Structure 1
């Protein structure tokens, strides 16, 4: 008997059916326009693009232009590639233009589908097409650029280690192909630049994400981080360490409670004289000059190292290395280091080797990067199982697009064996049976170890086969292309996002390329005709044998991964079959109570080598997988909630930086900062609703000298009748404005503007780096608040907001103090100061360019670090020739461009 839900679906159709139905009138309109566009010559297709842009400028929307634009694109693809898009491909393009994920089965031509929404949206702004690896980005860009070129649009491709000029040109293109990693890193790098014309990306208008589930879900567990070694300042640490013992009690004050130190006026005078003698600051310069900032910071750290950190209590020195001691347990903490130059100051104090410090320069999660786009869409063969996550995190709908031809693949029920040994014996036997009749077999495994173990079993059984694992993507494409050949056996660890169809009889294009390489003098047309004829016979033989047989050796914890593997068979209406071989010793079965099932099967008298096969088993396994998927979603959602807090702050900082770079004159910004500092000082020393007798005039006088560079008669003002907080505020403000006006005149307006701009950017970047480190530390400890019945997320939100406010206050103070104490100088000195600030900015950007990337939390570490940021190309570098790679680090990305660590790719120990 049918339930109410089933009856409703039969009468009204599913929500997905209704979406499909809604696009049919649009598809019919596109088809009706086909003869008109066929009549156009090649130049006519290009002029249509210009016409569409003009109509867009006059107020028409992209939706208005869709039927004509899609018809124009279909005609261009037909002429450039010889491919005429099917109606279902047009549907997929419509759904993507609407900001959805088009779920299209393997072999349905998703690469071509992406050109339709890309072309339409490129009329209005830049379009990014995101791929899972560099090989696919290059291949798709080269292949589809013929279509865009026929339409009068430019195509670019972004890849690691790309020269800056070339990268900028790639982003200037109408349609740019790139990997998710490279896009994310370029976004971070752009927001570390000091000039607008140095930035590569042109905003985030529209993105189409290929293999969207792999990129936005699987890889989204790990944030992208640009980190770099802080500048090597060993000599500075050592020089400062020689000065610290010369200081006396009158030179500094110590607050042991907060573990902070400050220098007195006497201390500043002594240090300026002494450091000038040592050449650590130029003669005539003060500790308040901008170029002295680093020295002052390290002086403070050096004093802390000497006065607040004791050997054999806070740390020990072992084998010439400073090792911290846990204050609670008294245990050593090897590998743990104090940040911000403090550990180096202790190393200098103890005469140990000074190690360079790594600092996080910038970070972003994929979730928050892709949510920058005004419109996001995607395509994949498997997204419906994660539809809730796509909707909640990215506001993306998932639409299942019908196949061009009905699926003829037979999906068999799972076969469950009691032990792994029995399972693998049955697998080898089944592969042997399929191979004997010439049926190609694709064997899916969950790990490299298991694929190698199965490979050995097949060797022992005398069965020839190929093994596909994390090697160069070019050779992977070749192996996948051959996997549909008559009698082929291919073992693969992960078939997601390979981007190459398994065609029955083998990939004819690869065969033609091989033949042309073997016979370069032969007639290409004759070779093509001969191979296509041979291929037809091969394809017929494979179809007769039953098509591609997908044999999975285990269930993955995600149904999506299983469906990706299964979907490799039965493309474009081809015959095929799929079967999953499981054992009670598999991870998923073991976790979900296989002991009980084992006992039941034992009592039922199940013999060795026998399998249990029933649809109920499939259903229960899918329920188990759904539970695991739900748990993983919750983990990702929780991580994202924490990152959202930082993301709001990141937007403020990056927005402020851009505003500064775009502004010709930042005087207004620095003036607002200075007036805010004055307000804060008056409020601190002359609190509102207090009497003049209660004011701390001495403190205000000292603060005006320190923060504003003003020696004012504060004490006299405070004794005048009728002087209130507002009068003090106005008088200090007027004096400050006058001082800055005199400085601008002395420096020259243009020079002052440049100094202000560079100083703002430099200070913002320094404060943001420190803030990121503080947030990392807060994130690592806030979880313990749960033991006190306090919500860690709320605690994190509250404290990170307070830290951010503190950072902004500190930023205003620092900029105001540096500008107030900067002294007029000669033209040569002015230029040197500007150049110095620029160099410091460039050094940080250079560090970002070569920066390794990693994860910021234990969960992400478990998922593996993100791909490192690109490094400059070595002379003679060739990613296909390992002899030109030099000596890559074991944990660095493999130079071949696979996206894997070197130790897991070409550096893997055999």
Structure 2
């Protein structure tokens, strides 16, 4: 991608055309795209990044001795040069140097060279892979401010409201000193508040709120998205849809935790729903749930828990057909009845309380599996939410019908310019390039990483694993170390907390049930002898500050108690220790009854591994190999799911465009 960007749009306009059109590539185009990615990766290893970083340092030398007024006087001519010429290397060096000097004076934080490198990479429309703890929030200010000074509306995208609000608050003094306005979009805001936030030069927003606001704008435009018509309505002042739009196009996005947003969450499309206007037939759903409850696994249905997949067998379909004869007219439709039983089986076997959802105040609330946070206003589609409400004895809500739908892949490809940053991208760099056109470059660390990795220990049962975890926590606690124990689910965190409590060890729990207390819990997690039990919500975006005594004792120690669906998530959790040159260590304490093995005990390899672990003297190598093998298998499956969703979404988009509709 070119480092020079010519501006075509003044920042104050709301132009529905400011996005990249959908396009389905041919096979030949996809191959050429992959080849281009290889060339770009090789070129990225050249010396251009260090040369441009050195240029930023040289440009900053003359700014050090300037007064506050003289420094402020540099802003206007810089904006004019950026508006006129775009992102020429000389202008970018001047901009980065100016922002860095303002940051040092206002925030007391001066960007180091690895942060400058990360910002340069993002300004060129790439993903900067930066080691955890390298200061990605501060890095993004260089890219965001430079783009905003050039007149581009910038979206800085994070994974949750807490990080979004925190980053917006912390960076606002710097941006205001540069003459830039800052907005923040989080859950619960009114349309007017959102419109004002999107009207700012730089807008911090969560990925989900951003996509849903985009879909709301598409519903506002309805089937008449012609920008000329929208502009004419605005000029006439009568019933203008332009005045009701929230956003002003998709110009430039900087995605924090890019692998989480663009890869992990891309398996599920985003859907805006509306009430159907009629109450769902409770009797039909209860009948489906009761029928599914009598189904026998491996006879009536097949279940793969690791891949979260259920398949009805011929015997199961025959049972549904027999039941339909006695259950009446609601069961006459083949697709509808089989779909309802399939969803009921999903509710019974794949969705568990305190794992995928909580029951709070008599309502089923979804837990975001990637952030560990509750999403109180979200619901599952196709009757699944209502079936789970029946399963838990909650009041039944109305089923909601889809009004607009889009996948993350299709949405983010529409940005005119897209960039990202994360600590874990190398495992998915090919997918980032093939889907989003994002090349990935790994940045050097500011200080050497001295984090130590201890060997995983694998036990036959969960009970053996928890006993070993508690023993290890007690040992580290007595050494004065700070301990962070990572669990995959809320239920697992509560189970471990109960065992730690029985052992008489002090501890704090951080999960979806304590999401409002995150900052306080994290602030105490680096104290001597502290024990923090956390789901993956604590794994990204927040720093654990170590007390001097903890640093002297060896730093933070992280215990991974269960592998996740992707090795990157485990690596992020491990990256909570040993940040910015701090001492630290991590290890895995696992079992063959963990999530990755659920539903796999019929596999000869699993049975062989159990025999090896329980009957031989050297079981660990085989068990570790098997765990990694299962994890890679799930990773490949999830990649196929994302690829298929993307292709289906593209095909559906083409059909809807042909019919004259947007989404």
Q: State the TM-score, normalizing by the size of structure 2.
A: 0.70
Are positions 1:166 and 2:193 aligned together?
yes
Contact 2:129 2:440 in 1 (8 A): yes
1:202 maps to which residue? 248
Per-residue CA deviations over 1:442-471 (Å, capped at 9, x if unaligned) read: 111112222111111111111110111013
**Structure 1 range deviating more: 577-586 or 642-651:** 642-651
1:323 paired residue number? 330
1:42 paired residue number: 68
**1:824-883 Cα distance to aligned partner (Å, 9 max, x none):** xxxxxxxxxxxxxxxxxxxxxxxxxxxxxxxxxxxxxxxxxxxxxxxxxxxxxxxxxxxx
Match of 1:571 in 2: 579
State whether residues 211 and 497 of structure 1, in contact with CA within 8 Å, keep that contact through their aligned partners in structure 2: no
Structure 1: which 5+ residue stretches go unaligned?
1-13, 234-313, 337-354, 506-538, 607-611, 657-763, 773-910
Find the partner of 1:418 among 444, 456, 460: 460
| 1:86 pairs with one of 92, 112, 134 | 112
Deviation at residue 32 of structure 1 after TM alignment: 1.1
Which of the pair is proportionally richer in helix? 1
Mapped pair 1:107 → 2:133:
yes
Give the Cα separation in 2 of the matches to 1:462 and 1:231.
Answer: 54
The reply to whether residue 475 of structure 1 matches residue 517 of structure 2 is yes
1:82 to partner: Cα distance: 0.1
Q: CA deviation at 1:117?
A: 0.8
Question: Cα offset for 1:27?
Answer: 0.9
Query: Structure 1 residues 577-586 or 595-604, which shifts more?
Result: 595-604
In 2: Cα distance, 1:170 partner to 1:623 partner: 46
Q: Show the 5 A alignment for 1:179-218.
A: 179-193=206-220, 195-218=241-264
Whole-angstrom CA distance in 2 between matches of 1:595 and 1:145:
57
Question: Is 1:631 paired with 2:632?
Answer: no
Q: Equivalents in 1 of 2:338, 2:535: separation in Å? A: 43
CA contact (8 A) 1:170 1:176 kept: yes
Q: Tell me how far apart the structure 2 counterparts of residues 197 and 397 of structure 1 sit (CA, whole Å).
A: 37
Q: Using the alignment, how far apart are the partners of 1:177 and 1:52 within structure 2?
A: 24
Report if the CA contact (8 A) 1:62-1:120 is conserved: no
Residue equivalent to 2:156: 129
- Measured against aligned partners, the alpha-carbon deviations of 1:174-195 in whole angstroms (never above 9, x if no partner) come to 1000111111111111122261
Residues 1:95 and 2:121 are matched in the alignment? yes
1:441 maps to which of 475, 483, 487: 483
Q: Deviations over 1:535-583 (max 9, x none)?
A: xxxx1x1122111011111222311111011000000111111111122
Aligned to 2:649: 643
Kindly indicate whether the alpha-carbon contact (under 8 Å) linking 2:609 and 2:626 is maintained by their aligned counterparts in 1. Answer: no
Q: Structure 1 residues 64 and 197, CA, compared in 2 at 3 Å: closer, same or farther? A: farther
Which residue in the other structure is 1:226 paired with?
A: 272
1:24–1:651 Cα change, 3 Å: farther
Per-residue CA distance 1:637-691 (angstroms, 9 max, x = gap): 01110111122355667xx7xxxxxxxxxxxxxxxxxxxxxxxxxxxxxxxxxxx
- Which residue of structure 1 lines up, in the alignment, with residue 285 of structure 2? none
Instruction: Mark the CA change 1:60 to 1:416 in structure 2 (over 3 Å): closer, same or farther.
Output: closer
- Is structure 2 residue 451 aligned with structure 1 residue 409? yes
- Structure 2, gaps ≥5 residues long: 1-39, 222-240, 280-323, 344-396
Residue deviations 1:670-715 (CA, integer Å, cap 9, x gap): xxxxxxxxxxxxxxxxxxxxxxxxxxxxxxxxxxxxxxxxxxxxxx
Residue aligning to 2:361: none
Q: Give the direction of change, closer, same or farther, for the CA distance of 1:204–1:106 in structure 2 (3 Å limit).
A: same
- Determine the structure 2 residue equivalent to 1:391: 433
Larger mean Cα displacement after TM superposition, 31-40 or 455-464 = 31-40
1:597 aligns with 2:609: yes
Match of 1:371 in 2: 413
Contact 1:42–1:150, Cα closer than 8 Å, also in 2: no
Q: Is the Cα contact below 8 Å between 1:128 and 1:208 reproduced in 2?
A: yes
Q: 1:196 to 1:330 in 2, by over 3 A?
A: closer
Equivalent residue in structure 2 for 1:500, among 536, 542, 545: 542
d(CA) in 2 for partners of 1:184 and 1:650? 19
**In 2, are the aligned partners of 1:158 and 1:170 still within 8 Å (CA)?**
yes
DSSP 3-state at the match of 1:215: helix
Matches of 2:267 and 2:335, distance apart in 1: 33
Q: Which residue of 1 aligns with 2:372?
A: none
Aligned positions of 1:876-895 closer than 5 A: none
2:616, 2:194 → 1: CA distance? 66
Q: How big is the shift at 1:625?
A: 2.4
Whether the 8 Å contact between 1:20 and 1:401 is mirrored in structure 2 is no
Q: Is the contact made by 1:413 and 1:618 (CA closer than 8 Å) also made in structure 2?
A: no
Does 1:545 pair with 2:553? yes
Specify the SS of the correspondent of 1:114: helix
- Give per-residue Cα distances to partners, 1:747-803, cap 9 Å, x unaligned: xxxxxxxxxxxxxxxxx7xxx8xxx8xxxxxxxxxxxxxxxxxxxxxxxxxxxxxxx
Q: Which has the larger radius of gyration?
A: 1
Separation in 2, partners of 1:158, 1:329: 39
* Deviation, structure 1 residue 63: 3.9
| Residue matched to 2:80 | 54
Measured after TM superposition, the shift of residue 417 of structure 1 is 2.3
Q: Which residue of 2 aligns with 1:869?
A: none
Q: Is the contact between residue 382 and residue 564 of structure 1 (CA under 8 Å) also seen in structure 2?
A: yes
For 2:647 and 2:133, locate their aligned partners in 1 and report how far apart those are by CA, in whole Å.
37
Return the alpha-carbon distance in structure 1 between the equivalents of residues 86 and 649 of structure 2: 38
Q: CA separation of 1:460/1:148 partners in 2, compared to 1, >3 Å: closer, same or farther? A: same
Question: What is aligned with 1:155?
Answer: 182
Shift of 1:76: 1.3
Q: CA deviation at 1:617?
A: 5.8
| 2-structure distance, mates of 1:58, 1:435 | 60
How many angstroms apart in 2 are the aligned matches of 1:335 and 1:585? 26
Structure-2 change in CA distance of 1:582 and 1:198 (3 Å) = same
Shift of 1:435: 0.4
Distance 2:583 2:338 in 1: 65
Q: 1:450 to 1:330 in 2, by over 3 A?
A: closer
**Aligned equivalents of 2:571, 2:169: Cα separation in 1:** 29
1:562 aligns with 2:589: no
Tell me the secondary structure at the aligned position of residue 99 of structure 1.
coil
Q: TM-score, normalised by structure 1?
A: 0.52
Structure 2 residue aligned with 1:841? none
Cα contact 1:103–1:380 (8 A) shared by 2: yes
Inter-CA distance 189–42: structure 2 relative to 1 (3 Å threshold)? farther
Tell me if structure 2 keeps the 8 A contact 1:477–1:498. no
State the partner residue of 1:66: 92
Q: Secondary structure at the residue paired with 2:110?
A: coil
More deviation, 208-217/108-117: 208-217
Change in 2 beyond 3 A, CA 1:228/1:584: closer
CA distance in structure 2 between the aligned counterparts of 1:182 and 1:62, rounded to whole angstroms? 33
Q: Deviations over 1:103-141 (max 9, x none)?
A: 112211110000111111112310000011112111111
Matches for 1:643-722 after TM superposition, within 5 Å: 643-649=649-655
Q: Name the count of aligned residue pairs.
A: 503
Aligned to 1:192, the other structure's residue is in SS state helix
Q: Residues of 2 paired with 1:324 and 1:627: CA distance? A: 37
Q: 1:332 to 1:551 in 2, by over 3 A?
A: closer
Classify the secondary structure of the residue corresponding to 2:134.
coil
CA deviation map 1:192-223 (0-9, x unaligned) = 22611221211111100111111112222221
Distance in 2, Cα, partners of 1:16 & 1:477: 41
Aligned-pair distance for 1:160?
2.5
Give the CA RMSD over aligned residues: 3.1
Taking the aligned partners of 2:164 and 2:589, their CA distance within structure 1 comes to: 35
- 2-side partners of 1:16 and 1:450: how far apart? 44
How far apart are the structure 1 equivalents of 2:137 and 2:638? 29
Structure 2 Cα separation of the partners of residues 37 and 366 of structure 1? 42
- Contact 2:458–2:624 (CA<8 Å) still a contact in 1? no
Greater RCO (CA < 8 Å, at least 6 residues apart):
2
Q: C-alpha distance in 2, partners of 1:569/1:326?
A: 56
